[in-house]
Copies of this chain bind each other. A is one copy, B any other.
Amino acid sequence: MPSVTDDRLLPLLPLIYVAWADGALAPAEIALIRRTAADLGADAEALAPWLDPDAPPSAAALRRLADDLTRRADGHDPDDLTALGLALARDAADDDRARVRAVAERMGLADPDAITELIAPPSRCAAFGCLEPVDLDVTPITRWLERLRPDDRAAARALLSHPSFTHVYDRPIADQRRQVLEWLERVAEAGVGRRAYPETDPEGALSRFVAAFETLALFDVSLTVKCGVQFGLFAGSVRALGTEKHHDVLKQAVDMTLPGCFAMTERGHGSNVRALETTATYDPERDVFVVHTPDDFARKEWIGNAARDGRMATVFAQLVVGGVSRGVHALLVPLRDADGALLPGIRVEDCGPKMGLDGVDNGQIWFEHVEVPRTHLLDRFAEVRPDGTYHSDIVSDGKRFFTMLGTLVGGRVSIAGAAVSVSRVALTIATRYAARRRQFGDKGAQEWLILDYPSHQRRLLPRIAATYAIGFAQEALVRDWEAMDGDPTPEGEDRAQSLEARAAALKAHATWHATDVIQECREACGGQGYAARNRFAALKADSDIFTTFEGDNTVLMQLVARALLTEFQRQFDDSRIFGLVRHFAGRAVAAAFDRNPYITQRTDRDHLRDREWHAQIMAARQADLTHSLGMRLQKRLGRMSSFEAFNQVQNHALALAGAYAERLTLDALHAALDDFGGPAEQRAILTDLTRLHGLYAIERDRAWFLENGYLDGDKARAVCDEVDALCAELRPHALALVEAFAVPEKCLGAIGAE
């Protein structure tokens, strides 16, 4: 479409544009425009290509026209498009202005706002233009999402606003490590570490730390993980496993004056850490522990902070006292001197290039008969006295070990939080992109926003809903963990074990969710998702390890299933499992399996959107799977070891753990919604989001519900249709729902930025 060069025609162009973009240019209007062009003394033929009712201009041509008009309005803020009409007519004679105005009136476009409104989106909202406006006040939603420790979140946000926190892409690994260390030092300086370990309010430590950790994860996962290593794992292990004599180390750890490591994983044992092989043998003559790596598979591996910065490490090793092995214990082993030089007997190798986390210096460590003073044993749960005798209040090696591990659950909780944060970032970028990217459309009309395609709504909206839900499940876990801390009664222990299972389930569920969300969002942004400047490269590569570190997800989910089976019991062993199965076979369970409340053939909207139904069917699935898992185990336990029996029902156990995690998050979202204190409009949208989350979870596992008689075919189809309907209803609020995540602009990459 040739461009119009006769300036006298310019005032007519917005009218032509608006008319076509609106899809209607009647023959009478065409004649009017032609006549007016002639009246203006211009060559009306130059307009001919724009006035052919049989060959309307293409969307591309219209957009070019709009761009051209916008450019011509130079000297004006391009946002202020009211100025456009005036600018174009500024040199025209008064009666020419009057002529144009007359045409506009005839075409129903006399109100300058009408033109402005219509021209505004295409002129900047071309194939990739300005964002749709968000009319909803999202502040109440943001406040609700961040209601736990908002001050710590605000402080971390303020810190991130400093210009030194800026993404640079394709930096060599060495530079990236330097950068992340510098960031970490700023974080420590700002008191994030100290706030997480206050002497006055130790009970708030987890929530304060997690609040900061989650906020930092919006910006950079390398920084987050390095924070996690230093403040969470290193300082956290000293605090949880040490005693007063280790407070000095703790203080230096939280101040980052002593960079440290958490040396648990070995090459040979990552998941089965009870079988670690590093030894710490007490030498009574020299009153030291001798820490040693007996073979190459016992080298410590993937240890964060080890390759470059760490000067001290919490080392997990088989403790040998008086020739007797006491199982895995933790002790402090210095790695480097104040100048960063490795100490004698310590060998470190870099783990080499990784998929991501370039800013984290992971290393391997070998110990060659390294001596450390007896006081370096972190001796909260077991001590070696000056007389060389071993003492622990916990008699069983296994129980002692799991008690120690239990105190370190903060790592899992933190990772789940970071997974929620990266999901929020990815969803914000992809939703913003979808709310400004256009592609395809009816012939001659403006192309569609990709967010208006139902398949695209399905990619984003259920994931937004799940991200809300998991965030609240995470919040509830942190609250309950802090509330529980310190109860030494058997009931307290049971609660602790139950919370450990919840933490494991949520860690696995949240990190698998993040991996899925980031992948889907990357693809939803097409080629743009592949450019490093658009953040997905880092989000994906850096968070990918979440699913297998701090406990491999598949292993964790099996622990969850075991915990669910033994909820009323202390430990899993053959005899107890039999008891449990008897319990399930008994009448108490029969009552729980009265399916009447959930089984209904209702397929009306009210029922399908009823959150009580969602909650009931989720709870029923969990109970049903627990029961059938118990029955399957019972059949096997007489014939094989409990280890093998459990392995044979492994896939069933994983299904149970997954069902539990989904129920957990749905219940958390329901509870949070009840506490939402914002206005009714926001509450209504969040209510629909909650419905979508529940219904989508049912849809995803509808095969199971169908197989087990909770749904019939008609109802299952109705569930799918209702998910579509909820997606469409929520589509106008999609952008508001991600804006409520309040991800800092600098974290949203090039296509996400405003």
Pairwise interchain contact A519-B530, C-beta atoms closer than 8 A: no
Pairwise interchain contact A275-B58, C-beta atoms closer than 8 A: yes
A552 to B549, CA, bound (A): 33
Residue A302, interface by CB 8 Å: yes
Complex interface: chain B residues within 8 A of A707 (CB): 702, 706, 713, 716-717
Complex interface: chain B residues within 8 A of A238 (CB): none
- Which of B126, B448, B532, B716 meets A354, CB within 8 Å? B532
Pairwise interchain contact A547-B523, C-beta atoms closer than 8 A: yes
Complex interface: chain B residues within 8 A of A190 (CB): none
Q: Known: A2-B323, A268-B128. Is A353-B532 also a contact (CB below 8 A)? A: yes
A295 to B325, CA, bound (A): 74
Q: Mark A272-311, 1 if CB is under 8 A from B, else 0.
A: 1001010000000000000000110100011000000000
Residue A442, interface by CB 8 Å: yes
Q: Known: A441-B643, A536-B355, A708-B713. Is A271-B526 also a contact (CB below 8 A)? A: yes
Complex interface: chain B residues within 8 A of A2 (CB): 323
Closest chain-B Cβ to A751's Cβ sits at a distance in Å of: 11
Instruction: Count copies of this chain in the complex.
Output: 2
Pairwise interchain contact A170-B651, C-beta atoms closer than 8 A: no
A454 to B650, CA, bound (A): 7
Q: Known: A526-B552, A713-B709. Is A353-B271 also a contact (CB below 8 A)? A: no
Residue among A63, A270, A706 with the highest chain B CB neighbour number at 10 A: A706
Q: Known: A173-B170, A272-B447. Is A527-B549 also a contact (CB below 8 A)? A: yes
Complex interface: chain B residues within 8 A of A724 (CB): 651
- Which of B269, B541, B548 meets A523, CB within 8 Å? B548
Residue among A60, A532, A545, A703 with the highest chain B CB neighbour number at 10 A: A703
Q: Mark A542-561, 1 if CB is under 8 A from B, else 0.
A: 00110111001110000000
Residue A641, interface by CB 8 Å: yes
- Which of B532, B548, B554, B703 meets A716, CB within 8 Å? B703
Closest chain-B Cβ to A724's Cβ sits at a distance in Å of: 7
Residue A16, interface by CB 8 Å: no
- Which of B265, B297, B530 meets A126, CB within 8 Å? B297
Pairwise interchain contact A277-B60, C-beta atoms closer than 8 A: yes
Pairwise interchain contact A439-B537, C-beta atoms closer than 8 A: no
Pairwise interchain contact A127-B703, C-beta atoms closer than 8 A: no
Interface size on A, residues (CB 8 A): 90
- Which of B522, B541, B547, B553 meets A537, CB within 8 Å? B541
- Which of B268, B270, B648 meets A527, CB within 8 Å? B270
Q: Mark A442-470, 1 if CB is under 8 A from B, else 0.
A: 11000110001111001000000000000
Residue A203, interface by CB 8 Å: no
A424 to B172, CA, bound (A): 31
Residue A733, interface by CB 8 Å: no
Residue A380, interface by CB 8 Å: no
Residue A352, interface by CB 8 Å: yes
Residue A610, interface by CB 8 Å: no
Closest chain-B Cβ to A43's Cβ sits at a distance in Å of: 15
Q: Known: A170-B173, A442-B643. Is A455-B650 also a contact (CB below 8 A)? A: yes
A527 to B533, CA, bound (A): 27
Complex interface: chain B residues within 8 A of A242 (CB): none
Q: Known: A170-B173, A533-B352, A713-B706. Is A526-B541 also a contact (CB below 8 A)? A: no
Residue A529, interface by CB 8 Å: yes
Residue A59, interface by CB 8 Å: yes
Complex interface: chain B residues within 8 A of A442 (CB): 641, 643-644
A271 to B527, CA, bound (A): 10
Complex interface: chain B residues within 8 A of A323 (CB): 2
Complex interface: chain B residues within 8 A of A270 (CB): 439, 526-527
Residue A109, interface by CB 8 Å: no
Complex interface: chain B residues within 8 A of A554 (CB): 455, 523
Contact residues, A674-713 vs B (CB, 8 A) = 702-703, 706-709, 713
Residue A495, interface by CB 8 Å: no
A323 to B3, CA, bound (A): 12
Complex interface: chain B residues within 8 A of A458 (CB): 651
Pairwise interchain contact B545-A271, C-beta atoms closer than 8 A: no
A717 to B707, CA, bound (A): 7
Residue A169, interface by CB 8 Å: yes
Q: Which 8 A-B pairs have the closest CB atoms?
A: A127-B268, A355-B537, A353-B532, A170-B353, A703-B703, A707-B713, A706-B706, A169-B353
Chain A residues close to B by CB (< 8 Å): 1-2, 58-60, 63-64, 67, 126-128, 169-170, 172-173, 265, 267-272, 275, 277, 294-295, 297, 301-302, 323, 325, 351-356, 439-443, 447-448, 452-455, 458, 515, 519, 522-523, 526-527, 529-533, 536-537, 540-541, 544-545, 547-549, 552-554, 641, 643-644, 647-648, 650-651, 654, 702-703, 706-709, 713, 716-717, 724
A354-B532, A355-B537 known; 10 other A-B pairs, CB under 8 Å?
A126-B268, A270-B439, A270-B526, A352-B533, A356-B537, A452-B647, A458-B651, A527-B549, A530-B545, A702-B703
Q: List 16 A-B contacts (CB under 8 A).
A: A60-B268, A126-B268, A170-B352, A170-B353, A270-B439, A352-B531, A352-B532, A355-B537, A440-B643, A448-B647, A455-B650, A523-B548, A523-B553, A526-B548, A527-B548, A540-B544
